[in-house]
């Protein structure tokens, strides 16, 4: 998959346990790749999971908050669900996630935030056994 010494650059290997589902998630995603999706999966493994998420300068909590905002802004609710789970694993609290979503209401629009809160309610109920 790449060289672990290239942290923060294309080709870097994601550190163990940092991804949405940990190394198992990356391996499963690569295994699911087929003739149509293999190159795409390899690219996102290298550049997103390996390059961007391993760069110095921002911790995983901050990167998770930024990612949640971008996903809300673009209406990518399926990815939002995955990244909400990752945000919890990366140390964001329920309260911090709520605040990130509140912020998106102003900068991304109330309808986008409303949809995101629906996803967050379900994810937080499943992951934390609590509701928003």
User: In this predicted structure, which of 39-43, 71-75, 110-114, 128-132 has the lowest mean pLDDT?
Assistant: 128-132
* Mean residue pLDDT across the chain: 86
Residue 124, pLDDT > 80, answer yes
| Class (C level, CATH) for 60-128 | mainly alpha
Kindly give the residue spans of alpha helices, DSSP state H, lying in the chain.
23-32, 38-44, 60-74, 77-89, 94-107, 110-128
24 CB-near residues (< 8 Å, 6+ apart): none
Question: Could you tell me the two tokens for 9?
Answer: 């650059």
What's residue 26's pLDDT? 73
Angle between helices 110-128 and 77-89 (to 10 degrees): 50
Of 5 and 94, which is predicted with more confidence? Answer: 94
Q: What is the pLDDT of residues 12-31, one digit of tens each?
A: 555 555 444 556 667 777 88
Q: What are phi and psi of 128, to 5 degrees?
A: -115, 0
Stretch(es) of the chain classified as CATH 1.20.1290.10: 60-128
Instruction: Give the pLDDT mean for 77-81.
Output: 97
Q: Does the pLDDT at position 118 exceed 70?
A: yes
Q: How far is CA 109 from CA 22, 62, 103, in A?
A: 32, 21, 9
């Amino acid at each position: 998959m790449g060289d672990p010494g290239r942290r923060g650059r294309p080709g870097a290997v994601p550190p163990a346990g940092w991804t949405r589902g940990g190394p198992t998630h990356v391996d499963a995603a690569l295994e699911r790749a087929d003739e149509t999706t293999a190159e795409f999966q390899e690219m996102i493994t290298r550049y997103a999971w390996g390059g961007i998420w391993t760069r110095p300068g921002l911790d995983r909590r901050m990167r998770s908050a930024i990612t949640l905002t971008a996903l809300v802004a673009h209406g990518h609710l399926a990815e939002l669900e995955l990244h909400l789970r990752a945000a919890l694993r990366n140390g964001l609290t329920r309260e911090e996630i709520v605040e990130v979503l509140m912020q998106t209401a102003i900068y991304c629009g109330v309808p986008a935030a409303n949809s995101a809160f629906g996803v967050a309610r379900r994810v937080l109920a499943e992951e934390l056994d609590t509701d928003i």
